[in-house]
Chains A and B, each alone.
Chain A
């Protein structure tokens, strides 16, 4: 009769323990990555038809009231919302991009993130109308957390992050007026908003990340991608960049990479300078023109001219979003004051957040239905009037 060696059970136990430990670590790593939940939500999302999509847009903008169709659509996607809320509260989100692909990298999560953000915004509005203000405000915060997680190492994902913050701001602006006077809840909301905004990466940092990603494309083995970029940018076969890239050697790409990094460093320095809004816009515009024009005579500037993003425009969006948030935080201060005294104050608190277009506090105007916070300078010089944000107050 064969006997089992004494060491065999120990080996088996050790192997089982090791496998369990490995499995646990893998599970924990997966559980800690929000993108896995997001991807599941994207696959489960039930898209509305065109009519319903328009209805939901109108509803979340507050132009129509709730109806059974809207409720049905939101309930159909209940599991999607649950997954997204859980994902947004996770500490890390790695979308799994291979940044070595450089400018040829595809970002397939962005359209789905947008759509689900619209769903969340509609649900926030619905919750507010149903009287569940705490969850409604929480959904707005979820949108801002999604913005943080969406913003990755490319400026495009940064832009989508800005758009999500803008959506959250719009939802908050609509919902705040419905929330009953509750200073505690409003204070919590204010600090959470400040927290999410502080965590949102500044544009200068994102531009540095984008520079690294784009530099992956500035190599001789990626010349085909660069050629596509030239054709997409200009469409003209007479572009001198085409001929330069077709005849380029490794030294050409190396000189161009050096030029690219020095140019983006110049833009980053400008962004980090504390120039007022209008001067910053002028400076960024001048830099953009100069760097692009340089490519006409300097072959080393060829790839910079092709790859340089519209930083001036992105800066404007960033300031617009931040100014809108500042208006919301100012409004929260006013609602908190009203919760304490029962009426809106006559003037803004001294330390109110500022309108970043002018660098001054907002212009505050009380109206019959609430109040308006108005910027003191325009975003664009040729605009009719500065931005203004209207808030309603429950009678």
Chain B
């Protein structure tokens, strides 16, 4: 591969993979919210 293409591939792929991995790991490692699966909590304003 030509050098500019190789540098771009390495920089872009590694950056995108690391950032994606970082955010997904953060999602997995954070403690659960009290009621993550209900939107009833969300009904603060009644119809």
**Do the two chains bind?**
no
